[in-house]
Structure 1
Amino acid sequence: MKLYSYVFLLGILFVLGSCGFGTADSGSKKNNQPTWKWEQTDKSLTLLNGENRILWRLNFDSEQDKPYFHPLRTPKGYNLTLERPKDHPWHRGLWFSWKDINGVNYWEEDPDKGVAEGRSIVKSVSIDKYKNFSAKITLHIAYEEKGIALIEEERVVEIGSPQNTEDYTIKFHQRFEILEDIRLYLEKPAKHGGVEWGGYAGLSFRASDSLVGHQFTTSSGWVNNDDITGYGEKERWMDMTAKVMGSEDYVGLTIFDSPDNPRFPSPYYVWFAKGEHAFFTPSILFDGPMDLNKGESLLLNYLVLVHDGKRSNEQLRQFENF
């Protein structure tokens, strides 16, 4: 009788194990939670949710320069990013790019060549994937003009786990080693709107055209729903929340500037027109160029919050000291 009970118990444990119980880190469904899995190539790392639906993809094709996130979706599966729109084909979802280094354009690509005059070349990529479906990606990037490297960057991107949550974070840790005397520059920007262009460089976000009813909110309490080119006030963070077209759901993305960054807090630049485009960036060069000498280092840190639903200022302030 005891032997029968022991065999019966082993049978039950085997069935439970086969069904995936007790393997929360494996990515299997439990309590209606999504199934997660990785997809990795020599050009990208992707986290898939459910039946091959992309939650996020970090693209790092060495032939295209400038690594970027697209698609970038919320935990509920709503896409936030727009890749290479016709109005600005150099906009790449969520990405980092300098605008002008020593008078050379690193921002706008030549439509025939597919790359900018100044190259931001991905030299190597190292990937660590974890059981809770967070990840750490280390990229080495060389900023070159005519084959001569002016800057070498080590960029560590840490992406938080999306499990059992309505948001997740992406942290950018960037170290720029200056190989030659340089000036980081951008055009004179508009402030509080206007007709002047410029003000954009650094970590930038171009919102999906599937979003409507955009609202921009900042750490100082500024709230804006109207068309604007500019802004220029110093903020610890800026959030863009919008409604998903054809639904009643809201989604958003927040960029936090680090207190450790030079010129903290940076002015934020917004380019927004209803029904046309939504873009914003913490603009470290908004108030003027930055001169760096050979042998110096520049350190930058940012946090991005990807969220479903709306977030109050109090909720967002909890991420300030990341």
Structure 2
Amino acid sequence: MNKINIGCFLILMVIFSCKDKVEKGDVGEPSPKMDQVTFNNDEKNQKVDILLDGNLFTSYIYDGKTPKPVLYPVITKSGKKITRGFPLEPVEGERVDHPHHVGIWFNYGDVNGLDFWNNSYAIKEEDKHKYGTINHRQIVETDAENGILVTKASWDTSDKTSLLEETTEFAFSQNGETRKIVRTTTLKALEDVSFKDNKEGMIAIRVTRGLELPSDRPDIFMDANGIPTEVKVLNNEGVNGNYLTSEGKTGEEAWGTRAKWTTLYGKIADEPVSVTIMDHPNNVGYPTYWHARGYGLFAANPLGQEVFSEGKEKLNFSLAKGDSVTFKYTILVHNGEQLTQDSLNGYFSDFSKSQ
């Protein structure tokens, strides 16, 4: 057998060997590409898992356990959960207030007189007519190549009348130690709709205990047996969160002020982490007011102007039937060396140029 025939024979042997391994399942799945986004559409559990490099970043959950779709949990690249577990997965040592604060969500406290913000499983049956529900309707698209998830939902009254049709595009990505969500939500009015100025809104995240601001106020926490227990003297060990706004406001002073972006930073298990929300110049009410509380509620609310300005301003935003409005936000989830103010301004500059 000459050299050419021997070479061909060896090549054929390799091909058949690989084919045999594939048929027998001996060859593993290819490793995810760097920063690759993967969507796992779990219809049984009514959620879509979003993975980066094969690791869970967050899940879009629409199982009805909360009266709106949420992103939960939210996890840094290094594996730190920055969202509070309660009420979906109660964790010892975390607060158990405000059962409507779950993961990352988007809603409002006064839509045609209905409270979409405070609705939860804890509302009594006789009071449910006062509240609205955001019902998931459809997964429109999952585009892994571009990290895009598109969903539809409806903002409904207790008697099932739909006030708003919501179309939301989530764009997920990762750059180094920074994970990013760009949320673009368009609300189309199916009836004449008013958004009366209200402090309860609009895009929000409820963070884990470590990212709260230290406090000595008594509260109710989950004990080791899963029982809510009043704690009169708080243990602030490991609690080290702090706010910084684009305008230089820090700590509790961030609440009720306007800013282009606000970051909440601290340490979880001795690792620096932060979550940043950025407003977009095209949004109504830009630059937004911040409903940023020390106990872990971190929200941007562009529509509550009369409340935050103590009556100096008034918006009372409304939509006529058939009209639409779009809100666009960036959320940065970072671990490792703290992002500088210059770095955050750079992220904001890039974001503000997008349409």
Deviation at 1:118, TM superposition (A): 1.2
Alpha carbons of structure 1 residues 257 and 112: separation in structure 2 relative to 1, 3 Å: closer
- Paired with 1:152 and 1:65, the residues of 2 have a C-alpha distance of 15
Aligned pairs for 1:254-273 within 5 A: 254-272=276-294
Indicate which of 179, 195, 201 corresponds to 2:190: 179
**1:318 match:** 346
Indicate which of 231, 243, 263 corresponds to 1:239: 263
Alpha carbons of structure 1 residues 56 and 251: separation in structure 2 relative to 1, 3 Å: same
Alpha carbons of structure 1 residues 237 and 10: separation in structure 2 relative to 1, 3 Å: farther
Deviations 1:291-313 (A, max 9, x none): 33223221111111111121001
Aligned pairs for 1:112-261 within 5 A: 117-131=131-145, 134-160=147-173, 162=174, 165-187=176-198, 199-211=199-211, 212-224=239-251, 228=252, 231-244=255-268, 247-261=269-283
Secondary structure, aligned partner of 1:318 = helix
Q: Does 1:281 align with 2:299?
A: yes
Secondary structure, aligned partner of 1:317 = helix
Q: Which amino acid aligns with 1:314?
A: D
Deviations 1:111-138 (A, max 9, x none): 1569772121112222314157x33232
Q: Which amino acid aligns with 1:215?
A: N
**1:56 match:** 58
- Paired with 2:68 and 2:112, the residues of 1 have a C-alpha distance of 18
Indicate which of 71, 79, 99 corresponds to 2:109: 99
Q: Does 1:305 align with 2:316?
A: no
Q: Does 1:88 align with 2:75?
A: no
Identity, % of aligned pairs?
22
Tell me if the contact between 1:220 and 1:235 (Cα under 8 Å) persists in the aligned partners.
yes
Deviation at 1:263, TM superposition (A): 1.5
**1:71 match:** 73
| TM-score w.r.t. length of structure 2 | 0.71
Tell me if the contact between 1:241 and 1:253 (Cα under 8 Å) persists in the aligned partners.
yes
Deviations 1:231-267 (A, max 9, x none): 22211111111100xx321111111101111111111
Secondary structure, aligned partner of 1:305 = strand
| TM-score w.r.t. length of structure 1 | 0.78
- Paired with 2:131 and 2:160, the residues of 1 have a C-alpha distance of 11
- Paired with 1:66 and 1:117, the residues of 2 have a C-alpha distance of 12
Number of corresponding residues: 291
Deviation at 1:48, TM superposition (A): 4.8
Tell me if the contact between 1:257 and 1:265 (Cα under 8 Å) persists in the aligned partners.
yes
Tell me if the contact between 1:125 and 1:139 (Cα under 8 Å) persists in the aligned partners.
yes
Q: Which amino acid aligns with 1:68?
A: V
Q: Which amino acid aligns with 2:139?
A: V
Q: Which amino acid aligns with 1:125?
A: I
- Paired with 1:157 and 1:282, the residues of 2 have a C-alpha distance of 17
Whichever structure has more strand as a proportion of its residues is 1
Tell me if the contact between 1:229 and 1:270 (Cα under 8 Å) persists in the aligned partners.
no
Deviation at 1:60, TM superposition (A): 1.6
Secondary structure, aligned partner of 2:209 = coil
Q: Which amino acid aligns with 1:287?
A: Q
Q: Which amino acid aligns with 2:317?
A: M
Q: Name stretches of at least 5 consecutive residues in structure 1 with no aligned partner.
A: 20-25, 188-198
- Paired with 1:271 and 1:142, the residues of 2 have a C-alpha distance of 26
Alpha carbons of structure 1 residues 131 and 151: separation in structure 2 relative to 1, 3 Å: closer
Tell me if the contact between 1:35 and 1:49 (Cα under 8 Å) persists in the aligned partners.
yes
- Paired with 2:296 and 2:278, the residues of 1 have a C-alpha distance of 18
Tell me if the contact between 1:55 and 1:73 (Cα under 8 Å) persists in the aligned partners.
yes
Whichever structure has more helix as a proportion of its residues is 2
